[in-house]
Amino acid sequence: MIEDFPLQLEGYHGLSWISHSERLWLIDHLPALGTMVEIGSANGATAAAIADVRPLAEILCVDNFCGFDKDHLGDGQTLKANWMANKRPNMKLFTALTDILVKDVQLVFVDGNHSEDDTYTNLLWADGVLNHEGWIAVHDAFGVSWEVDVMKAVERFVEEFFYEKSEFVNTMLPLRRMDYDG
């Protein structure tokens, strides 16, 4: 059974589009001084909830606020305004992945446009910035209508690159980078 989401987390603006177990997994896999990239941040509620328990970690969020979530926003609310209200000192916002210049990232959370091509492009980008013990967590890979496209991208990616699919955490599929020398 799929665990409920989105969630209105107390003290945060707008909805967090992941479940409790998914958020806890992300927190567990982000080292205290690590860097996480969230591709598709929406209200930034998930990022802020993670930032609050990992205040020394760096959380880089990407979103072009392309119109997602209109139905859940109150009068005069926008995703970007919510993101700014949720912003913590260790969160940064980018409107395009290509604007982020990082390396040695421990965790990339893929939750943007869930088309096959965009998911695949996001996975390729993640591979380029991840460190050797890093994780990619792909959201909406199980139990939702767009899982088919998301999983097509994942299967293409793991066939070509050296990653191991882990156990699903609710709808989220973690991919562990394998040691190329091992």
Ligand X SMILES: C[S@@+](CC[C@H](N)C(=O)[O-])C[C@H]1O[C@@H](n2cnc3c(N)ncnc32)[C@H](O)[C@@H]1O
Binding region for ligand X (CB under 6 A): 16-18, 38, 40-43, 45-46, 62-66, 68, 79, 111-113, 118
The residue of the chain with the least Cβ separation from ligand X equals 40
> Smallest gap, in angstroms, from Cβ of residue 13 to ligand X?
11
Question: In whole angstroms, what is the distance from residue 3 CA to residue 155 CA?
Answer: 24
> Closer CB to ligand X, residue 38 or residue 127?
38
Nearest CA to 112 among 130, 125, 129, 127? 125
Compare residues 38 and 58 and give the one whose CB is closer to ligand X. 38
C-beta of 156: minimal distance to ligand X in Å? Answer: 18
Nearer to ligand X, 143 or 178 (CB): 143
- Answer yes or no: are the C-beta atoms of 14 and 82 closer than 8 Å: yes
3 state SS for 101-125 = CCCCEEEEEECCCCCHHHHHHHHHH
| Residue 29: CB minimum distance to ligand X, A | 15
- Interstrand relation of 105-110 and 35-39 (parallel, antiparallel or unpaired): parallel
Residue type, 134: G
Question: Which residues are within 8 A (CB) of 64 and not within 5 positions of it... i.e. 6 or more apart?
Answer: 95, 96
CB of residue 120 vs ligand X: minimum separation in angstroms? 13
Please report how close the Cβ of residue 11 comes to ligand X at its closest, in angstroms: 15
* CA–CA separation, 28 and 22 (whole Å): 10
- Closest CB to ligand X among 63 and 127? 63
By beta-carbon proximity to ligand X, the closer residue of 17 and 120 is 17
